[in-house]
A and B are shown apart, each in its own frame.
Chain A
Amino acid sequence: MNALLRNKLRAFLTMLGIIIGVASVIAMLGIGQGSKLSIQQQIAGMGLNLVTVVPGSQQRGGVQFGASTMQSLKETDVAAILSDCPAVLAASPEVRGNGQAVFGALNWPTSLYGENESYLQIRERSVTNGRMFTDRELSSAAKVCLMGQTVVKNLFGEGADPVGQVIRFKKIPFLVIGVLDSKGLNTFGQDQDDLILAPYTTVQKRVLAITWVQSIYTSAVDSKSTADAATQIEETVRRQHKIKASDQDDFTIRNQTELLSTFSSVSNILTILLGAIAGISLLVGGIGIMNIMYVSVTERTREIGLRMAIGGKGFDILLQFLTESILLSITGGIIGILLGIAASKIIGSTMGWPIVVLPSSEILSFAVCTVIGVFFGWYPARKAASLDPIDALRYE
């Protein structure tokens, strides 16, 4: 054990392999878990009760696109869903258009979303300033809009109040009646505040000149009912579209729980992959320990001979070297764990992820280090223990 203190630099360099290995295992698992949790939070943030209907059938080979199927959803479907699906609490058609929003000399490319008044409830958003559009404005296709904060910032400047101003979107004037709450970026890096919200009737008639809707967002009564809601919606829309029993849906229903489990399994695979890569560096660290233990045994052959001459048994010598290698790997492991925690905190905070340091991964790393110490220390220690005392004493 003294031998380790005697050669501090070498002990440190040897430990470095383990330190880096453990730190990367901890950091990688932390990053994996953090990103997974972040995605889960984002999806949950979009509303766990959310059930979406999009046009086009989903087949094994992918989504089938076509002009007729892409136009299959109508606002009557929304009304039918609301009246015939007990598991659905609210539903809103959605139509979207991209274009330039202009105010005075400033313009900003953004998306215009046409929704009904249930939008706020379904998407779990709120109006921070001003108001939501009314039923009357909806039925009369009034040229009113609400703005996301990114649009406010770019058209009016930071902190300005746009309510009461008139902007133009694709040359059509809209009266700003409210500002939406800020939601920031989602997991995919999309700015959830970069939008203009208007009654869907207005967007359909005055902006896009279409009669269909691009998707339907519905909210189930609770998160457990999303599957029920999906079945009821499917039945209702099939009936609406007069689809024969033998034919496929001309629409696709998605719910958030499905999305959640897909993303969770993707990020689990990612975590395992990252962990495996980090694990390899841990292995390399272990081989480093083995190497240095062999060097140490060779260097200290005479010492081993002496220890045997004065009564050290093979087992004592084995234990001595094994203790040294375990001590090396555990010390490296502890430093690595601390470093790994620090690294995952730094990465987590720069990426804006929740910081997850799993105690299980720490315990695992610690156990792995001990095993590495024993495993990679065993052969050098064995070699030391099996030396012949006179040969060892005579070793040059």
Chain B
Amino acid sequence: MKKLIEIIKLKKDYYVGEVTVHALRGVDMVVNEGEFVAIMGASGSGKSTMLNIIGCLDKPTEGEYILDGISISSLSKNDLSGLRNQKLGFVFQTYNLLPRTNALDNVELPLLYNKTVKTKERIERAKSALESVGLSDRMHHKPNQLSGGQQQRVAIARSLVNDPVVILADEATGNLDTRTSYEIMALFQELNNKGKTIVFVTHEPDIARCATRNIIFKDGVILRESEVKDRINALEMLASIPLEAD
């Protein structure tokens, strides 16, 4: 199986005034193509820091990170931007959609930074991404005209539109109720079934059980890794949650 993400002895320090915070203190991990990995751990254990480094938003203080065969330590800021544009998709806890901008335009955004994609193709791809998250009837809605779950699905469509090698989600269900959370997880599972690699951070054990593998962080190191045995099928879970719950 192809190694998509390879992290070797990775450390990350933050310097806050005189104090040095060791956010990551030697992490080794591998994510293979097609995996659906959930990163778990207590607050402050370094989950977001890890995901930001995987997402090429931040660089490690020490250690090696290889994404899809590319070692990122030697890359410039602009190269990293290009890499994020071509290979990565982000889903955030707070959606981060552009306000007063409709769903379609929001989804098109990553392609605007890809000079090889022409206008017509851009619109086509944005439409089909919105279709794949089940929002083809909400294309011209602005974020404030959409529910939280719908907004997050627009964000997922945006993360899909550039056909990334991996989708990274940090607490993507953190702002959503249980039912909507499972809707989002069902969408992720569907994408994963189609072959998309997904790495997501959560602190909810049940949500983590939707993944194929769990990595648990503690104080900047991996405490434990395990394959998910009793995996939850989010769609079945949804069926068992009554609509009026939450």
Interface residue tally on B, bucketed by range: 20 to 34
Inside 8 A of B114's CB, which chain A residues have their CB? 311
Task: Determine if A310 and B110 form an interchain contact, defined as CB atoms under 8 angstroms apart.
Answer: yes
Residue of B nearest to A6 (CB): B100
Task: Determine if A310 and B101 form an interchain contact, defined as CB atoms under 8 angstroms apart.
Answer: no
Task: Determine if B113 and A313 form an interchain contact, defined as CB atoms under 8 angstroms apart.
Answer: yes
Interface string of A289-313 (1 = CB under 8 A from B): 0000000000000110111111111
State the CA gap A308–B90 with chains docked (Å): 11
State the CA gap A107–B201 with chains docked (Å): 102
Among B153-176, those with CB < 8 Å from A are 158, 162
**Is B70's CB within 8 Å of the partner chain A?**
no
**Is B92's CB within 8 Å of the partner chain A?**
yes
A382 to chain B, nearest CB (A): 14
Are A309 and B84 also in contact (CB < 8 A) when A314-B78, A390-B58 are? yes
State the CA gap A306–B84 with chains docked (Å): 11
Which interface residue of B96, B101, B158 has the most chain A CB atoms within 10 A?
A: B96
Task: Determine if A311 and B96 form an interchain contact, defined as CB atoms under 8 angstroms apart.
Answer: no
Interface string of B81-123 (1 = CB under 8 A from A): 1101110001010001011110001000110011000000000
Task: Determine if A311 and B98 form an interchain contact, defined as CB atoms under 8 angstroms apart.
Answer: no
Task: Determine if A312 and B101 form an interchain contact, defined as CB atoms under 8 angstroms apart.
Answer: no
A171 to chain B, nearest CB (A): 86
Interface string of A239-258 (1 = CB under 8 A from B): 00000000000000000000
**Is A2's CB within 8 Å of the partner chain B?**
yes
Task: Determine if B57 and A311 form an interchain contact, defined as CB atoms under 8 angstroms apart.
Answer: no
Inside 8 A of A314's CB, which chain B residues have their CB? 77-78, 81
Task: Determine if A2 and B77 form an interchain contact, defined as CB atoms under 8 angstroms apart.
Answer: no
State the CA gap A312–B90 with chains docked (Å): 13
State the CA gap A374–B77 with chains docked (Å): 24
Inside 8 A of A6's CB, which chain B residues have their CB? 99-100
Interface string of B192-223 (1 = CB under 8 A from A): 00000000000000000000000000000000
State the CA gap A315–B57 with chains docked (Å): 17
Which interface residue of A2, A311, A316 has the most chain B CB atoms within 10 A?
A: A311
Task: Determine if B158 and A310 form an interchain contact, defined as CB atoms under 8 angstroms apart.
Answer: yes
Interface string of A309-338 (1 = CB under 8 A from B): 111111110000000000000000000000
State the CA gap A301–B109 with chains docked (Å): 16
A307 to chain B, nearest CB (A): 7
Residue of B nearest to A389 (CB): B57
Are A393 and B92 also in contact (CB < 8 A) when A2-B101, A312-B81 are? yes
Are A310 and B82 also in contact (CB < 8 A) when A303-B98, A390-B52 are? no
User: 5 smallest A-B Cβ distances: which pairs?
Assistant: A311-B85, A311-B113, A310-B110, A313-B81, A306-B96
Interface residues of A (CB under 8 A from B): 2, 6, 302-303, 305-316, 389-390, 393
Beyond the given pairs A6-B99, A313-B78, 19 more chain A to chain B contacts, judged by CB atoms under 8 angstroms and listed by A's residue number, are A2-B98, A6-B100, A305-B96, A306-B92, A307-B109, A308-B57, A309-B55, A309-B84, A310-B84, A310-B85, A310-B113, A311-B113, A312-B113, A313-B82, A313-B113, A314-B78, A315-B78, A390-B58, A393-B92
